Structure 1
Amino acid sequence: MTKIALVVSDVDGTLVTHDKRLTDTAKAAAKKLEDAGIGFTITSSRPPVGMRFLVKPLGITLPIGPFNGSSMVDGDLNPIVQHLIPESATKRAIEVLEDHGVDIWIFTNDEWVIKRDDGKYVPHERDTIQHEAVMVDDFSPYLAKACKIVGASADFPLLERCEGVMQKALGDTAVAVRSQNYYLDITPPNQNKGTFVQAMAQRLGISLEAIATIGDMRNDLPMFKVSGMSIAMGNASDDVKSQATDVTSSNEAEGFAGAVEMILKRNAGG
């Protein structure tokens, strides 16, 4: 069995708790990986700025993958590789979101752009990514530089229906998948957490079999499919769990640390 040389973890619902805390146990688990000579990095639907607070506490020195892995940035958040949503797809996505009556946000590499700040999830996102939004009356200046579009809604069934409509409307011009029950992410075509994992393997000169991935949502499945070991969180849906090689406990019960122990045990031949 190939030993794990790199661990790639999702953030929300995986590495941090429900209230977005990075626990001491999670930090200690990341240190165990370092001590074992195993590389560690993160990928998330978050923009780069929303991942900054994790880099130093976790001792991350490798590139990280924001926007569901469609970009790659260094520890100072400087783009290494960046993909954008085609402007035509951005316009179509906004039309579909407007038709469904959900809040619309646009993320560029360094800005979060909204038209209203009274949406249910604006304060939540502000606290999560620790960054203020830019309020605008018109999205037009941002259409050609969108790294991610988000449809936010507290109506989970509505957003699930919107996801299906969006996927049909965009086809292969962009990727549309929910990163949370309340967030529908639209990101650049042919890019996802799986392509980020593949890029990291190439960058480090290691095989995909030597990579372990940890996550909890359907947007984590592309990286599960390409990695040698995939670990679903206990809080993941049964569908996500069924597509992982292993399952750990929930993010509220130190599931990330549990996943690290599984990886270390595998490497030890246990």
Structure 2
Amino acid sequence: MSRIALVISDVDGTLLTSDKRLTDQTRAAVAKLRQAGLGFTLTSSRPPVGMRMFSDPLGITLPLGPFNGSSIVEPSLAVIEQHLIPAAAVKTSLDLLERYGIDAWLFTNDNWYIRRDDGKYVPHEQRTIRFDPTRLDDFAPLADKACKIVGASPDFALVARCEQELQAALGDAALAIRSQDYYLDVTPPGQSKGTFVQAMARRLGIATDAIATLGDMQNDLAMFRVSGLPIAMGNATDDVKRLASHVTATNDDAGFAAAIDFILARNAQM
């Protein structure tokens, strides 16, 4: 059992409450980490622009992992490392999402594109990342610039079925995984929140066993598998909880702050 030196947290459903608030308890918890000499950063399915609002309030100085960790950026959003979805995988993904009747979005490093502005989750995403989309009828010109594709639908079961078929269709060409019950993310091959954990370990010269990770959804499983202390939120899905070493309270019941207290208490016993 290693002493924790770095905490990496998911954002939505973990760091934030269900109504996307960064609470005073959460801010205080991150301050406790800093006072104890532990590092802290975030990885999320969000684009870089959707993570910029956390660096100053939480005093984050380490790189962030947007697009499910497939990109690495400075807190200023300057790109350190970026990977793209192969053009053929972009077409496969868009074609299958269309066949399922699932609303498709495309994210480049600095923009968000939609094909229809009446999609159920467009206003939700606008509020979440505090950024407006660009409407575009044809995504083909962007096929070689895609950092992430999202399929959005209120039919959770449909999204889950599409996840399985799309991953089978993509094979090793890209990763298809849900970041929310209503979002299916397609991201570059060989990259995940797990590779972000490994990249941060190399950057800081620490073992991955010295990293604690906090999350709630399927896209967090990759970082749970490679970190020394995976912690699931109380609102996490059952498969996420099964892979965790510890389960904290829900994101609406100060679960993040409780998890930080658990990490610090664990360190104090070592």
* TM-score (norm: length of structure 1): 0.99
Q: Which runs of 4+ in 1 moved over 6 A?
A: none
Per the alignment, residue 218 of structure 2 pairs with 218
Shift of 1:137: 1.4
1:162-181 → structure 2 map (5 Å cutoff):
162-181=162-181
| Residue identity opposite 1:11 in structure 2 | V
| Residue identity opposite 2:35 in structure 1 | D
Per the alignment, residue 137 of structure 1 pairs with 137
| Residue identity opposite 2:261 in structure 1 | E
Q: In 1, distance between residues paired with 2:202 and 2:184? A: 29
Shift of 1:149: 0.1
Q: In 2, distance between residues paired with 1:246 and 1:137? A: 46
Per the alignment, residue 154 of structure 2 pairs with 154
Shift of 1:186: 0.1
1:21-100 → structure 2 map (5 Å cutoff):
21-100=21-100
Summarize deviations over 1:47-103 as a string: whole Å, max 9, x none.
Answer: 000001111101000000000000000011111000000001001100100100110
Shift of 1:142: 1.1
Q: Which runs of 5+ in 2 are unaligned?
A: none
| Residue identity opposite 1:146 in structure 2 | A
1:188-203 → structure 2 map (5 Å cutoff):
188-203=188-203
Shift of 1:138: 1.1
| Residue identity opposite 2:186 in structure 1 | I
Per the alignment, residue 10 of structure 1 pairs with 10
Shift of 1:202: 0.2
| Residue identity opposite 2:204 in structure 1 | L
| Residue identity opposite 1:199 in structure 2 | A
Q: In 2, distance between residues paired with 1:133 and 1:24? A: 30
Summarize deviations over 1:1-42 as a string: whole Å, max 9, x none.
Answer: 311000000000000011101001000000000000000000
Per the alignment, residue 255 of structure 2 pairs with 255
Shift of 1:104: 0.4
* TM-score (norm: length of structure 2): 0.99
Per the alignment, residue 233 of structure 1 pairs with 233
Q: In 1, distance between residues paired with 2:188 and 2:78? A: 18
Q: In 1, distance between residues paired with 2:156 and 2:237? A: 15
Per the alignment, residue 123 of structure 1 pairs with 123
Per the alignment, residue 114 of structure 2 pairs with 114
Q: Which moved more, 1:62-71 or 1:139-148?
A: 139-148
| Residue identity opposite 1:159 in structure 2 | V
Q: Which runs of 5+ in 1 are unaligned?
A: none
SS in 1 for 2:17: coil
Q: In 2, distance between residues paired with 1:231 and 1:158? A: 28
Q: In 2, distance between residues paired with 1:139 and 1:239? A: 34
Summarize deviations over 1:194-244 as a string: whole Å, max 9, x none.
Answer: 000000000000001100000000110110010110100000112110100
The number of residue pairs the alignment matches comes to 270
Summarize deviations over 1:127-153 as a string: whole Å, max 9, x none.
Answer: 000000001111122110000000000
SS in 2 for 1:138: coil
SS in 1 for 2:161: helix
Aligned-residue CA RMSD (Å):
0.7
| Residue identity opposite 1:177 in structure 2 | I
Q: In 1, distance between residues paired with 2:227 and 2:157? A: 31
Summarize deviations over 1:235-268 as a string: whole Å, max 9, x none.
Answer: 0112110100000000000100011001001110
SS in 2 for 1:209: helix
Q: In 2, distance between residues paired with 1:46 and 1:237? A: 19
SS in 1 for 2:14: coil
Q: In 1, distance between residues paired with 2:90 and 2:239? A: 29
